[in-house]
């Protein structure tokens, strides 16, 4: 089961970011309750209420996966005191036969994404649905060509894409 707890937000004025808070995704496998990204610290109450609507609390989450280490994706990690934290440095040691973790560099060198069933949770490899529809690299990236190559690879998987800041892009939709 995959549920979007919070769909994220990214407000810009030209090239200036006015507000950023990442999407927060819950994945329940047979073995784990996983949260992918925890958003910015100011969204802590939103994350808690989202979990509560599903009958859960932070203590019910045993794994947190951070797609990368930017503040707007890890700001509520502290809520998940019982969780094992997975990131680029240690993802190879995490085992759950229902998910696969892929390296998806470009936005950052250490970006990872989580493949689960018909979904892929990509963090800022695709921050907005427009990045996917228009095949445009993220506005902030360490290597624009690599970011675009990664984005095209993600699209080629044919999965629904949970974006970093704009909810779920459903495969085949125009927006």
For the stretch 32-65, pLDDT in tens is 999 999 999 999 999 999 999 999 999 999 999 9
Mean pLDDT value across residues 95-105? 97
Domains of the chain: 2-88+98-169 (3.60.15.10)
Residue 126's pLDDT band, with cuts at 50, 70 and 90, is: very high
User: What CA–CA distance (Å, rounded) separates 66 from 37?
Assistant: 5
Task: Tell me which DSSP letter residue 55 carries.
Answer: T
User: What CA–CA distance (Å, rounded) separates 165 from 11?
Assistant: 9
Strand order in the sheet with 2-6: 2-6, 24-28, 33-36, 63-65, 84-86
pLDDT at 175 over 80: no
- What phi and psi, each to the nearest 5 degrees, are found at residue 159? -100, 160
Mean pLDDT value across residues 90-96? 96
Q: Look up the pTM and report it.
A: 0.96
Residue 14's pLDDT band, with cuts at 50, 70 and 90, is: confident
Mean pLDDT value across residues 89-96? 96
């Amino acid at each position: 089961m995959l549920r979007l707890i919070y769909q994220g937000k990214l407000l810009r004025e030209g090239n200036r970011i006015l507000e950023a808070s990442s999407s927060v995704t819950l994945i329940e496998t047979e073995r784990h309750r996983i949260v992918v990204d925890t958003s910015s610290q100011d969204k802590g109450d939103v994350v808690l209420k989202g979990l509560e609507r599903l009958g859960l609390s932070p203590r019910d989450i045993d794994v947190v996966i951070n797609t990368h280490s930017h503040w707007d994706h890890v700001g509520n990690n502290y809520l998940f005191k019982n969780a094992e934290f997975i990131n680029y440095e240690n993802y190879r040691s995490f085992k759950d036969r229902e998910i696969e973790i892929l390296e998806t560099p470009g936005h950052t060198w250490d970006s990872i994404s989580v493949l689960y069933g018909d979904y892929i949770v990509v963090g800022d490899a695709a921050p907005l649905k427009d990045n996917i529809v228009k095949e445009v690299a993220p506005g902030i990236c360490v290597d624009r060509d690599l970011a675009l190559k990664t984005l095209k690879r993600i699209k080629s998987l044919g999965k629904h894409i949970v974006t970093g800041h704009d909810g779920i892009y459903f495969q085949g939709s125009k927006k």
